[in-house]
Amino acid sequence: MKSCGWIFVILGSLLFVGSVRDAVELPLRQFATSAAWLILNIFNIEAERGSTTLSNAFNIISIEPECSGIRKLACSAAFAGGIAVYSSFSMRAALMFGIFSLILAIASNVVRVVFLYFITCGPWRESAWRHSAHAASGVVIFIVVIAILST
């Protein structure tokens, strides 16, 4: 039953199509913002939340469409589908693995938003490496997701 793995490959590809991407992007940004705000509040870290923004008295971070996690979601779905097809997973195993990859991609984006909050609104907000850390964090989180899915 290799067909179930192909569902996630196709799903990952569809997320790059403009209308599908636009429909998923804003809810992903809002979820990442809300979840990151919740995590910050659990650890008693001051943060104000907007629809897609987090802020404190010093700075504001806006979760832009490029940081919505849509590319990570699409790539993890396609990667999980590829692994399921290559490994000849049963339909049930492929579905569980695909769902796990989607949850992992969304959760990793929340972790990235929390990290970005610290480098944008925290004590490092004036650092020269802040912009490099912002770009590198997406790559590092993506590599971690692929490494987890590969094991």
User: What's the token pair of residue 3?
Assistant: 């067909």
Q: Does the structure show a pLDDT above 70 at 49?
A: yes
| pLDDT value of residue 108 | 92
Q: Is the pLDDT of residue 9 over 50?
A: yes
When pLDDT is cut at 50, 70 and 90, the band that residue 23 belongs to is confident
pLDDT tier at 106, thresholds 50, 70, 90: very high
pLDDT of 48 reads 92
pTM of the model: 0.81
Work out the angle at residue 54's Cα, subtended by the Cα atoms of residues 51 and 58, and round it to the nearest 5 degrees. 145
Give the 3-state secondary structure percentages of the chain, helix then strand then coil, rounded to 5.
70, 5, 25
pLDDT at residue 12 in the model: 65
More confident residue, 96 or 78: 96
Question: In terms of pLDDT, which residue wins out, 85 or 128?
Answer: 85
Q: Is the pLDDT of residue 92 over 70?
A: yes
